[in-house]
Amino acid sequence: MNRFASNRPWAKVSSRVRMVALAATAALALAACNQTDSEAARRANKPLTPEMVSLISQKDMSPASPMLVRIFKQEAELEVWKATSDGSYALLKTYPICRWSGELGPKVRVGDRQAPEGFYTITPGQMNPNSNYYLSFNLGFPNAFDRSYGRTGEFLMVHGDCSSAGCYAMTDEQISEIFSLARESFAGGQRAFQVQAYPFRMTPKNLARHRNNPNMAFWRNLKQGYDHFEVTKQEPKVNVCGRAYVFDAEALPGRGFDANASCPPYQVPPQVASAVAEKQRSDDAQVAALTPSAPLAPVRTNADGGMHPVFLAKLKERESGQMSFAAAPGTLPEYVNPPKMTPEKVALDNETAVAQVSPANIAGSVPAATAQPKGAPVPPVRPAAAQPSGSSAPARSDKSAAVAAKPATVASAASLMPSGTLPGAASSMPTSSFSQ
């Protein structure tokens, strides 16, 4: 039993909360079904594969249990965590990221091509079945922390199509599965899921390597939230005050948190504060020991982001015409704009690869329905649309703004939810879905 799990047990969801969640997912269903292209409805309503349902069961989870996402830029990996039967979170699956743009560091302004870093909250209204990038969800940038620094930008997504201009781009198959996992969690009563976006895994080795980066103070603040999750395996409660994130903090009665004002007196549960402090002392000691010998990571690579090695390998295969037995977790589009392999980028990747899972192992974790045994096939070319500012790769604009601006009218959740399981779904699948 996780000693921190009782703080915020997910299982105690009232029937009213569940009804609100079902109404929200039903509204999203109508947003997909009301468009002329029924393909979007099919994508949004795709059931979890039997392989994924089995994996969820093996890990003592339920499709309806809450989820949480962690993103690591340098490693180009996205993790999906879900709550287990005791209320603590466990890792469900790690997805290699097909493309992210910019450098390590936060997004600051419109057009800087930076993918956001920080803590973001995703509600059903931010899920976009109408995306021109197959499927997507809006990160909600800028959040309160970002706004306190005057940072600007909009429509920063996690989406498909492996094309990024400030987003985290997956393959279509990957975003389809992630979208379905979120749908089931919302239907199970989760009002919103948290995305934690980091520059890299917050290990002592990485902190030592990046010690001269001007973003280190910001990253140290992110690490506090990282540590809270690592020691509690609970979604950290996030607030902003004094232009900094605070985690699992409860303000004294009559006081509140204001991103632009000094932090009020607050307290963190003693058990959590003690465990986090112990971890931080251990990590700081390791950073100090590593600093004299750890090679400095470049502040800038000028590579315009990154791509997981498994996808870089597939691009090299495509260029050379040679095929390998390594499978890619999804289909690469015909046009992909890979990062520039500058000397700084190569050096950073070589260091990162030492601690990273091999492409073959990652491909092996992909359900059989999506694994590609002989290289990534090229799909038909999709209609081109407007080019995002600053992008050099063919791309299309996203329609999340339109979805948010035109919410569907919901008469009642009960009248919109299907009475049986989805066609083709496993018998253990929840009956709620994005269908009319």
Tell me which residues are annotated as active site: 159, 167
CA separation for the pair 276, 356 (Å, rounded): 25
- The number of residues in the chain equals 436
SS (H, E, C) 59-76: CCECCCCCEEEEEECCCC
Could you identify the residue written with the tokens 């940072």?
151
Sign of CA dihedral 8, 144, 401, 389: negative
Residue 179: how many CA atoms within 13 Å on its side-chain side? 36
Query: Smallest Cα–Cα separation from 153: which of 169, 142, 167, 164?
Result: 142
**Amino acid occupying residue 197:** A
Q: How far apart are CA 83 and CA 103, in angstroms?
A: 32
Instruction: Dihedral sign for Cα 267, 270, 276, 280, please.
Output: positive
Residue located via tokens 């069961």: 57
Q: Which residues of 134-169 are buried (b: 16+ CB within 10 A; e: fewer)?
A: bbbbbbbbbbbbbebeebebebbbbbbbbbbbbbbb
The values of phi and psi at residue 172, to 5°, are: -60, -40
Answer whether 375's CB lies under 8 Å from 359's CB: no
Q: Is the dihedral of CA 136, 148, 192, 124 positive or negative?
A: negative
Positive or negative, the CA dihedral 39, 42, 45, 49 is: negative
- Distances in Å between the Cα of 29 and the Cα atoms of 122, 191, 231 are 17, 16, 37
Q: How far apart are CA 69 and CA 196, in angstroms?
A: 6
